[in-house]
Amino acid sequence: MSSVHLNNIVKRFGAVTAVQKTSLEIQEGAFVTLLGPSGCGKTTNLRMIAGLLDPTEGEILIDGKRVNDVPIHKRNLGLVFQNYALFPHKTVAENVAFGLKYRDVPSSDISRRVTEALELVQLPDVGERYPKELSGGQQQRIALARAIVIEPDVLLLDEPLSALDANLREDMRVELKRIQERIGVTTVFVTHDQSEALAMSDQIVVMSAGRVEQVGAPEEVYNTPASEFVANFLGASNILAAECKSRSAEGVELETPIFGKLVVPAEKAPNLGGAGPAKLVIRAEKLLVAAKDAAAPDGVISVPATIEAVDYQGQAVRYFVRAGEAQLQAINMIDQRPFAAGDEVNLRLRPIDCAALPDQ
Partner 1 sequence: MGGTMGWHLLRGWTVLVYLFMFLPVAVVVLLSFNASQFGSFPMTGFSFRWFVELANNDAILRAFQTSFVLGLMTAAISTTLGVLASLALVRYRVPGSNYISTLLIAPILVPEVVLAVALLLFLNFLGINKSFTLLLFGHVIFTLPFVILVVQARLVSIKRDIEEAAMSLGASPRQTFFQITLPLMLPAVLAGALFAFTISFDDITGTLFWKPGGVETVPTQIFAMLRNSISPEINALGTVMILLTVGLPLLGMGIARTLSQKRGG
Ligand X SMILES: Nc1ncnc2c1ncn2[C@@H]1O[C@H](COP(=O)(O)OP(=O)(O)O)[C@@H](O)[C@H]1O
Told to check if 82 binds ligand X by CB under 6 A, we report: no
Q: How far apart are the C-alpha atoms of 33 and 31, rounded to whole Å?
A: 7
Q: What would the x/- binding string for ligand X be over residues 39 to 68, using CB under 6 A?
A: xxxxxx------------------------
Closest approach, Cβ 29 to partner 1, in A, equals 20
By residue count, the chain amounts to 360
Q: What would the x/- binding string for Mg ion be over residues 36 to 75, using CB under 5 A?
A: -------x--------------------------------
Q: Which is nearer to partner 1, 78 or 338 (CB)?
A: 78
Q: Which is nearer to ligand X, 38 or 107 (CB)?
A: 38
Contact indicator for 176, 7 with CB cutoff of 8 Å: no
Residues contributing to the site for partner 1 (CB under 8 A): 50, 52, 71-79, 81, 83, 85-89, 98-99, 101-103, 130-133, 143, 146-147, 150
Residue 2: name the closest of 77, 57, 72 by CA: 77
Q: Where are the alpha helices (DSSP H) in the chain?
A: 42-50, 92-97, 107-120, 136-148, 166-183, 194-200, 218-223, 228-233
Say what angle helices 107-120 and 136-148 make with each other, to 10 degrees. Answer: 130
Which residues, at least 6 apart from 256, have a Cβ–Cβ distance to it below 8 Å?
Answer: 240, 241, 242, 243, 262, 280
Contact indicator for 285, 300 with CB cutoff of 8 Å: no
Which residues, at least 6 apart from 288, have a Cβ–Cβ distance to it below 8 Å?
Answer: 330, 332, 347, 348, 349
40 binds, among ligand X, partner 1, Mg ion, none (CB under 5 to 8 A by kind): ligand X
Closest approach, Cβ 207 to partner 1, in A, equals 22
Q: Which is nearer to Mg ion, 193 or 228 (CB)?
A: 193
103 binds, among Mg ion, partner 1, ligand X, none (CB under 5 to 8 A by kind): partner 1
310 binds, among Mg ion, partner 1, ligand X, none (CB under 5 to 8 A by kind): none
13 binds, among Mg ion, partner 1, ligand X, none (CB under 5 to 8 A by kind): ligand X
Q: How far apart are the C-alpha atoms of 277 and 156, rounded to whole Å?
A: 41
Told to check if 126 binds ligand X by CB under 6 A, we report: no
Q: Which is nearer to Mg ion, 43 or 194 (CB)?
A: 43
Closest approach, Cβ 61 to partner 1, in A, equals 19
Contact indicator for 44, 19 with CB cutoff of 8 Å: yes
Closest approach, Cβ 360 to Mg ion, in A, equals 29
Closest approach, Cβ 226 to Mg ion, in A, equals 23
Q: How many CA atoms within 13 Å lie on the side-chain side of 348?
A: 14
52 binds, among partner 1, Mg ion, ligand X, none (CB under 5 to 8 A by kind): partner 1
Strand duo 211-216 + 203-208: pairing? antiparallel
Strand duo 186-191 + 31-35: pairing? parallel
Q: Which residues form the interface with ligand X (CB under 6 A)?
A: 13, 16, 18, 36, 38-44
Q: Which residues form the interface with Mg ion (CB under 5 A)?
A: 43
